[in-house]
Amino acid sequence: MSDTFLLLIGGFVAAVINTLAGGGSLITVPLLVVAGAPGTVANGTNRVGVLAGTFNASRMFQKLGVEGMKGIGGILGPAVAGSILGSVVVSRLADDAFEQVFGVLMIPILLLSLRKPNAASLAERPPWPRWLSTGVFFAVGLYGGAFQAGVGLLLIVALARSGVDLVLANHIKVITTFVFTCFALPVFLLDGRIDWNLALPLSVGFAGGAWVGAHITVAGGERVVRPVLILAVVALSGRLVGLY
């Protein structure tokens, strides 16, 4: 019961953070480890919550009239290919190795989350050529398939530099994350890297936090959430790399 409550709250907070700044998986993956999941199982189980959140976000954008599906094929192809490769590679890591790598990655991704990229200024620069965009989206998919945390921020940067409007970029971001998670999830499933007892309460927390996060964003409450993100990530990063 304590693990269930922990993951409900953790998923809730992560979804709020994802709405405000991104990087919610920096909290949920380590919490899954604390709840008893080995590192690679935590990484796979986290995808179930991400899938639920991105599915709902994508539907909401559609209801609001944003047409993110147009011209997305050139993005989805390389991103999905990268995500499959990334998920296969990371699923072969030993649990201890994954936890240490993820623990180290948490700090730079935290910094990226706290300093959200200025998509408007990025969009003013000359867009990348097609071949470079394809390589970048493959690399983003590779990272997303392997680690997930912070991939939305990377997608926003890549989309803005590709000349995509900010609102449209957000819709494309959630669609892309949803689709490549659909392809990455079976890799973890076939390898037995998903704990459904932990995934279900986590997904419920994600669903509730997404709704609240939207309201906090409108009310300007981001400055309240950022200190929570900093403390949680620093503490959980130290736990994963074995400092205590």
pLDDT at 114: 63
Cβ(48)–Cβ(148) under 8 Å?
no
Cβ(188)–Cβ(91) under 8 Å?
yes
Show me where the domains of the chain are located: 2-240
pLDDT averaged over 10-residue windows placed end to end, the chain, 244 residues: 86 76 78 89 92 79 69 82 91 84 78 62 67 88 86 78 70 84 91 92 85 58 57 61 55
pTM as predicted: 0.79
pLDDT at 122: 58
What are the pLDDT digits (tens) for 2-56? 888 989 988 888 877 776 656 778 889 889 988 889 988 999 999 999 888 778 7
Q: Residue 79's closest CA among 178, 168, 189, 186? A: 178
Kindly tell me the burial class for residue 152, based on how many C-beta atoms sit within 10 Å of its own C-beta (0-12, 13-18, 19 or more): buried
The CA-to-CA distance between both ends of the chain, in Å, stands at 25
